[in-house]
Each structure stands twice: as C-alpha cells, then as structure tokens.
Amino acid sequence: MAHDLLLLAGDGIGPEVMGEVKKVIGWFNANGMDFAVEEDLVGGCAYDAHGQAVSDATMDKALRADAVLLGAVGGPKWDKVPYEVRPEAGLLRLRKDLELFANLRPAKCFDALADFSSLKRELIEGLDILIVRELTGGVYFGEPKEIRDLGNGQKRAIDTQVYDTYEIERIAAVAFDMARLRDNRVCSMEKRNVMRSGVLWNEVVTQVHQDRYGDVQLSHMLADAGGMQLVRAPKQFDVIVTDNLFGDMLSDVAAMLTGSLGMLPSASLGAPDAATGRRKALYEPVHGSAPDIAGQGKANPIACILSFAMALRYSFDAGEAADRLEKAVESVLAQGVRTGDLLGPNGGAAVSTAQMGDAIVAALGAN
Ligand code: IPM
Ligand code: MG
C-alpha cells in the first residue's frame, strides 16, 4: 500500500528545498518504495490564497496523511497581517491539532563540516545530541494569552506557562525511549528555581524515571545553565528533554554548534494510535524561510532532505532507506560539494540548491 505523504513547502526557501526532496522521493519510488505525494499550502502563501495560514481543507489532508513534510513559513511580506493569521499560526495549528507533542531535534556534527562551527573542532567533532522538545503545551498555547488595555494608558501583556502532569509524563517517556536507542542518558532542563512549572516538570520526570526507566541515566539542569553547558562542552549530553519555549531556544543553540542551520532536520510526533500503533507526524527542517536568499537557488536542501530521512525512519519503518539517504548526504559532503552556507572561512565554489539535490540523488544510486 502506498504511503501518503503531504508536502507543505510553505514560504521563502521552502519550495526550493522541497523541490529537492521531491527528487529524492522520486528516487525511492523508482527503487521499490511507494509514496503517494500530495501538495498544499501553509503559511504566508496560504494566507495569500485563502486568508488563513492553513485552511480547514489542508488540515483535513494533514490529519489523514501518513506523514506531513513541511518546508518553512513566514517572511517580511506578511509582517503586517493580523496576529491570528500570521504564517507561523499555520505551523502552530498543525502542531496543536495533530497533537504533535514530541519534537525531536537531533544536532549532529558532520565530520566534513567540523571546522565551520563557532566552537573549536575538538569540542564538536563527533557531536551527536538529541533535543526532545515538548511542542503542544507551555507558554506557546497556555491561556490567557492576550494584551489587555488597562484603561489608564497602560497595557498588560499576558502569556501563560502551564503544564499538566500527563503532558510532562508523555514527553519524558519519549526522551527515555529515545535514550535507550542511543547512549542511554537523559538530561532534563527547566527553571525550578523560579517557575512552578519547573518544579512540577522536575518532579514528574523524576517519577517517570523511577517508575519505568530506572536503566536510563537521568540528570537535571537549570535551563540557563544548560544553555551555558551546551556551548561549553556540548558532548557531555546525549538526550536533552525540555519544555516548549526552552526547547525552542536550546535547539537553535545546539543547531548552530554543528556549523550550519541548513543541515538540521526535525520530527514532531503524536501519541501512537491505540488501534494501529501509528503516530501522526510532521517533519521539517529547523531552519526558517530565509527570505534574504529565497528564490535564488542558493538554499541548502540538506535539512529538508534529512527531515525526509527522519520520516522514513519514524513513520515508514524504513530504517535502512533512512540510513542510505543519510549516508548519501555524508558522502556528498565528504566529496566537498557545498552550498554557500557550508563554505566556511576559506570560501570556495558553491553549488546551487538543485545541484546539491542532484548530487545526493546520484550518491543514493551509487552506494
Ligand atoms: C521553531 C520555530 C517556531 C517555534 C516558529 C516559526 C513558530 O522557531 O520551530 O523552532 O517557535 O516553535
Ligand atoms: Mg525556533
């Protein structure tokens, strides 16, 4: 049976990088796999077409698909659109309505790129960490969330950080499960010294560990110290589990350690369906829409291609295909093929988005 894949390329460089993923999907379809691809709009382009950052019809398709692959949303063109329909609202609705509570953000340093990190080579060589970010709760979605007019010339802005036990339990379980497949270590990050939600987070993670994951090594860190340790000695971490907002920030820090934001994929997963065991899932690069280079054929498609590799692994049970794709990316980098973001201080000749995609497809066939 065909795997139903919904592609939402979105804005900025989204369509360019997604174009290269389509070539990769084409290669797998020509080599024994069966993906049925549908495409639709999300973000600013959806707002332009329907006045909404994601339409109900697109949401229906996303709910039915086996997996959704998203490019990027947003750009200066939509700076002035109403808050409720800004491009990011489309992405947030997808996460919330598909209940994609578990966001996996691996930060892996490719050998060929170790010199491009802002940290010294020895600090990041061989780096392989996984940030597990809670994605459907916390301050992103907590109510009230508003700007109140106090009637005295002042306004009051309110965002609410809120977590229930079950939300912390399920993200902690994902982190422990992931750790068992890796180096078996989890570091939980919160601000229990300042925030009640941090106190509960710490308690619940500790309890889940004690009840079900005693074999995994658990440590706790305050999130600010965690940020500091990530740039001081990032290789001390295996899996980091943290809330929605801290996860947003810490994953950007971790991403940059690896040398380029253009390399990093992510997966957002829901709970396994009771009947089928299948998880709803959305895969997307960690980078944004990069409006400054959009439409110029300069963007690095690797993060989006590696997001498809994560889809192969987590949605389609095709670990070997995922390995093959990741190896193809590695071998292309080892050959010295570089988009502009990967040139580093010594410069050199950059290939285009399409040339990078073609090189990866060629490497797929070769290995
Ligand atoms: C991310 C992004 C999003 C977030 C934005 C685009 C809403 O920064 O996926 O990290 O804040 O979650
Ligand atoms: Mg972010």
Q: Give the residue, by CA position, lying nearest to ligand 1 atom 10.
A: 248
User: For residue 100, what are the contacts with CB-CB under 8 A and spacing of at least 6?
Assistant: 94, 135, 136, 268, 269, 270, 280, 281, 282
Pair (138, 229) in one structural domain: yes
Residue 350 CA, ligand 2 centroid: distance in Å: 27
Residue of 243, 248, 283, 314 with catalytic role: 248
Final residue in a domain of this structure, among 257, 285, 306: 257
Pair (148, 209) in one structural domain: yes
pLDDT per residue as tens, the chain (367 positions): 899 999 999 999 999 999 999 999 999 999 999 999 999 999 999 999 999 999 999 999 999 999 999 999 999 999 999 999 999 999 999 999 999 999 999 999 988 888 888 899 999 999 999 999 999 999 999 999 999 999 999 999 999 999 999 999 999 999 999 999 999 999 999 999 999 999 999 999 999 999 999 999 999 999 999 999 999 999 999 999 999 999 999 998 998 888 777 899 999 999 988 998 889 999 999 889 999 999 999 999 999 999 999 999 999 999 999 999 999 999 999 999 999 998 877 788 999 999 999 999 999 999 6
Q: How far apart are CA 124 and CA 131, in angstroms?
A: 16
Contact present, 303 and 55 (Cβ < 8 Å): no
Range of the domain at 244: 128-257
Ligand 1, CB cutoff 6 Å, lining residues? 88, 91-92, 248
Pair (101, 134) in one structural domain: no
Pair (166, 240) in one structural domain: yes
Pocket of ligand 1, candidates 68, 88, 101: which has the most ligand atoms within 8 Å of its Cβ, to mutate? 88
Pair (155, 240) in one structural domain: yes
Whether 191 sits among the annotated catalytic residues: the reply is yes
Q: Give the residue, by CA position, lying nearest to ligand 1 atom 7.
A: 88
Q: Which atom of ligand 1 is nearest to the CA of 92?
A: 7
CA of 253, nearest ligand number: 2
Q: Which atom of ligand 1 is nearest to the CA of 284?
A: 9
HSE (side-chain half, CA atoms, 13 Å) at 46: 26
The CATH number given to whatever domain includes residue 285 is 3.40.718.10
CA angle at residue 167 from 162 to 170, to 5 degrees? Answer: 160
